[in-house]
Structure 1
């Protein structure tokens, strides 16, 4: 009788253990799933980093990227077959540490063979309400490869600063645009600030490469007949101009924010980043200094949709629908008709809400 009871208790214990086994395996399964996800993400990031490794030959970059992906695949295989290949994920983890170290050793530089249009760094000097900008770009563009370089020194009186216009230049579909800010003074003079990549000679922009420390930042201050006309008249980009609704005190802060960034880049070069440090995020950063409640939004990344974000934040002149601001702010045809005449800035603003008649810029 006792023997039967013992066998029954053994079978009951085995049944309970069998029911609890899946519960005990769940933590291990979750850990393996998390490890697999980490390996996949590291494989993708590392593969792209190696594929866009700066100052490295194409064959070396692509071969390195393929080898890295193979190592990631081997690590996943080892994760799935831990008894035989347990060491493979650990080898990949060590390789990841080495790759991150290599990433950290990529440093931005000041001295390279820069493309002509970003060759001269903006050098501001501030003396009270007077700001002198050395290396203001005022190229005469005939085509993207045919131009006359001109770098000028100009002085601006912040007490005469009266306006700021947001310019968006669409060059890659409706979602992506280059963002610029043009500041106007009561004598009709204007200067445009634009954070751009500092291209090396022969180098071209790649949005993907911009995630992987391929480009330094360049702060450009330029004449509108250069930086807006080259986009609308030479490159055929679709350019829009919107008057910003900013009080004069905050206009000064915004202007000086660009000046401060240019001074920082003089002292310490920085990398451009497609997502976190670009022509649009700098505007957001500078405006947020006097509008701290400004929310983050996907349109800061998809900069082509930035006008709807600014409109929702009441950042444009009031009293107009967004569609009206967009229709009147499209300057391409007016820019082509104006050419590079002395009245270029006046003519491109004809009909733009918030624009008042003013003098002719020099």
Structure 2
């Protein structure tokens, strides 16, 4: 006769196992439903029909796993049918590969390409659009030459477009002649396509790395899209800044030769930059703020990578560029000193103010 402990312990283990198995089936079914919605080709009616069939099979598998059916008539084939369908779904998912030759939106049409001779770097396809509205703009793709021996600053720009935790991050390199070059990791939108954070988990977008003038890529966020943009001067050693600049160009080459998918969580505007910096400065700690990129300045402040002679609150106040960016507009066109104007009053890592300006707020 089984002991009292065995009488309650075995049913508990069986219930726990079934609950965990059912939870796995629920999550996998939800993932498969979204994967089919975002990637299955064909008419909407066909996609919805396949999604519905998959979801109903998943619900039946959950019910069978939990023992909802009568034990004597439990359709044991249902979980196995769901498992077989899952294998087919995964095999199909692996066939979805990124492309580099689609009908891209105008501002994503070209990726940068560089020729390097010693300190002299020639970059093709530097974007320098003149944005009047989101839909109306003048296109310019330029070839520019930079001298890496004159690279003197590295700045982080954080543009908030969906609450305090979610932001787009850009890195701007400054040269002794006053020019700034910005690198931005973005989704490579096709013509007419719009960003979807959920779609970014399901291979909806290829990955792009854009090299652009601040008049283009910063001004469009602060003045045209009216996002809240903050600028921080980063204390990155000269040699590390040079390596990071070149790492961006290597990444652009890799994406041009071997397209990759954007992923909202693992391959985005912050995680890719962190991966590059980590190769240059080993030992950087991982942190949740690398995923919640709106808090990235807090992470850099804790690493003493910003001006720590001031509070982070003051750095944020002085780094808020929107009013200065709007003041630097001239009838919808940025003034020649746009980059200098948005840096007025922003502390450098050594604690000095740029042009001894005052906060814009």
TM-score (norm 1): 0.91
1:353 partnered with 2:353:
no
* Shift in Å, 1:41: 1.3
1:119 partnered with 2:109:
yes
- Mark the CA change 1:56 to 1:186 in structure 2 (over 3 Å): closer, same or farther: farther
* Shift in Å, 1:350: 0.3
1:65 partnered with 2:51:
yes
SS in structure 1 of the partner of residue 39 of structure 2? coil
1:329 partnered with 2:319:
yes
* Shift in Å, 1:244: 0.4
Is the 1:338–1:347 contact (alpha carbons within 8 Å) kept by the matching residues of 2?
yes
Q: Counterparts of 1:186 and 1:356 in 2: how far apart (Å)?
A: 14
- Mark the CA change 1:176 to 1:156 in structure 2 (over 3 Å): closer, same or farther: same
Alignment counterpart, residue 230 of structure 2, candidates 237, 240, 249: 240
Residues 300-348 of structure 1: CA deviation (Å, up to 9, x unaligned): 1111111111111111123111001000000001001101111000000
* Shift in Å, 1:24: 3.7
* Shift in Å, 1:56: 4.7
Alignment counterpart, residue 32 of structure 2, candidates 40, 46, 56: 46
- Mark the CA change 1:201 to 1:300 in structure 2 (over 3 Å): closer, same or farther: same
Alignment counterpart, residue 252 of structure 2, candidates 248, 251, 262: 262
Alignment counterpart, residue 308 of structure 1, candidates 278, 298, 302: 298
* Shift in Å, 1:27: 4.2
Gaps of 5+ in 1: 1-13, 358-362
Q: Counterparts of 1:19 and 1:321 in 2: how far apart (Å)?
A: 60
Moved more, 347-356 or 200-209: 347-356
1:184 partnered with 2:178:
no
Q: Counterparts of 1:93 and 1:250 in 2: how far apart (Å)?
A: 49
Gaps of 5+ in 2: 356-361
State the partner residue of 2:280: 290
State the partner residue of 2:21: 35
Q: Counterparts of 1:332 and 1:57 in 2: how far apart (Å)?
A: 44
User: Highest CA radius of gyration, 1 or 2?
Assistant: 1
Is the 1:257–1:286 contact (alpha carbons within 8 Å) kept by the matching residues of 2?
yes
- Mark the CA change 1:57 to 1:156 in structure 2 (over 3 Å): closer, same or farther: farther
Q: Counterparts of 2:196 and 2:119 in 1: how far apart (Å)?
A: 39
* Shift in Å, 1:20: 2.7
SS in structure 1 of the partner of residue 281 of structure 2? coil
Is the 2:301–2:308 contact (alpha carbons within 8 Å) kept by the matching residues of 1?
no
Alignment counterpart, residue 161 of structure 1, candidates 151, 163, 166: 151
Q: Counterparts of 1:197 and 1:170 in 2: how far apart (Å)?
A: 16
Q: Counterparts of 2:152 and 2:199 in 1: how far apart (Å)?
A: 38
State the partner residue of 1:145: 135
* Shift in Å, 1:299: 1.3
Q: Counterparts of 2:112 and 2:157 in 1: how far apart (Å)?
A: 20
State the partner residue of 2:336: 342
Q: Counterparts of 2:227 and 2:46 in 1: how far apart (Å)?
A: 35
Give the count of matched residue pairs: 343
Alignment counterpart, residue 119 of structure 2, candidates 129, 136, 147: 129
- Mark the CA change 1:74 to 1:234 in structure 2 (over 3 Å): closer, same or farther: same
